[in-house]
Each structure stands twice: as structure tokens, then as C-alpha cells.
Amino acid sequence: MASHTVSHSHEIFYRTMVDLAGGRYKGIFQAIQRKDGTWHEALCLFDSPQTGSTLALPVSQVSAENVRKKIAESNALFEEFAEKACTRVLRQFSAV
């Protein structure tokens, strides 16, 4: 049976990839077994330094490039939301 826990050496690798991408490493969410007996892959957790949002990638997809992309996508969503929220607030004040 294969091990479903992340080794310390692999965790060092994931931390390094997150650091290289400019993220803040938070840890590993270990693999969990589904009711049907299959396994859900472990997740690498990291924060966007700009928004503080915690993000995750399956450990098989962790690379500095993929972490950078995930952070950029998240930051873009925050930016889009902030613009919409500001527009709505300004509309409310201009209607008064």
C-alpha cells in the first residue's frame, strides 16, 4: 500500500516552491480517504502576500510557476471584486 502522507523532504520542496513564487507557505493538508476507498490528494496551502487569502494546490501540481499563477489569479479576483464594490458604493452616494 502506498503512503498517503507527505514526507519532510517533500514538504521542504513545497515550501521552497512557494517561497520562490513569492507566497507565504502555510503547510500541507494531508491526503484523505473518500468513502469509496479512493484517496483525495494532499494539498499545499499558501497565502497571497497581497490579499492574505489562503490558496491551495494539489501537491502534484506544486511548482514556483503554478504557485505564481494561482496567486495572480486570486489577486485578480480580489481586484475585480474591489472595483465592483467601489462602483456600487459610489453609485449609492451619487443617487442621494
Residue 3 is predicted with a pLDDT of 64
- Would you give per-residue pLDDT tens digits along the chain (96 residues)? 356 788 999 999 999 999 999 999 999 999 999 999 999 999 999 999 999 999 999 999 999 999 999 999 999 999 988 887 777 776 777 765
Residue 23 is predicted with a pLDDT of 98
Q: Which of 13, 10, 42 is nearest to 28 (CA)?
A: 42
Q: Is residue 80 part of a domain?
A: yes
Q: Is residue 3 part of a domain?
A: no
Q: Max CA-CA distance within the chain?
A: 67
Q: Is residue 2 part of a domain?
A: no
Residue 45 is predicted with a pLDDT of 98
- Number of domains, the chain: 1
**SS3 assignment, position 32:** strand
Q: Which domain holds residue 73?
A: 8-94
Q: Is residue 78 part of a domain?
A: yes
